[in-house]
Amino acid sequence: MEIRYAVPSDLNGLLNLLKDNHINSIPEEEKKNGFITTNITKEQLYSLMENEKGITVAVNDSNHVIGFALAGSWNFWQSWPLFTYMIEHLESFKLNDQILTVENSYQYGPVCIDKQYRNTGIFEKLFSFSLKSMADHYPYMITFINQVNPRSYAAHTKKAKMTESGTFDWNNNHYWLMAIQTK
């Protein structure tokens, strides 16, 4: 297993993993173990990888993608309606008394670990690599977690040491807004 920046040949594997864990593909009884709601194209992934160095992958010994974490500037994410909403409301959230802004923070997620590799410590390593990769550019990292995704909340609070800066509602979903200092 290796954690590293993505290269172009990882993108198909990443998209397959994303598709398998998307809310539209997961049976209802499996949703407690997490799901992804973001839709992203191969072209958008390529741009995130090339222009922002924003894709971290975990690969197995056959160099097959078994996990990924996306991270990018608000400028990159702004065309997704949920992120447009988050950008508009960002400054009402704080971490350590600092107002969160589009300049001092970036957005991490979605993140995913292939089902058969969960609870093995890969999540912590992937998270840590992704966080460090942006630390020289931004003091704060922000993400959102759907309140009906308890596994993601547990992983990000217990394993990644993120804290809740508040909650918000969007499109009939309730979210936690999570933040962490990058250094």
Ligand X SMILES: CC(C)(COP(=O)(O)OP(=O)(O)OC[C@H]1O[C@@H](n2cnc3c(N)ncnc32)[C@H](O)[C@@H]1OP(=O)(O)O)[C@@H](O)C(=O)NCCC(=O)NCCS
Binding site for ligand X (CB under 6 A): 21, 32-36, 109-113, 118-119, 123, 149-152, 154-155, 158-159
In the complex, the smallest distance separating the C-beta of residue 20 from ligand X, rounded to whole angstroms, is 9
Measured CA to CA, the distance from residue 82 to residue 124 in angstroms comes to: 26
In the complex, the smallest distance separating the C-beta of residue 2 from ligand X, rounded to whole angstroms, is 17
Residue 1 or 103 with smaller CB distance to ligand X? 1
In the complex, the smallest distance separating the C-beta of residue 86 from ligand X, rounded to whole angstroms, is 14
Which sign does the torsion angle of CA 130, 39, 156, 99 carry?
A: positive
Residue 133 or 149 with smaller CB distance to ligand X? 149
Cα separation values, 164 from 49, 128, 135, 153, Å: 28, 18, 20, 10
Residue 1 or 154 with smaller CB distance to ligand X? 154
Measured CA to CA, the distance from residue 133 to residue 181 in angstroms comes to: 13
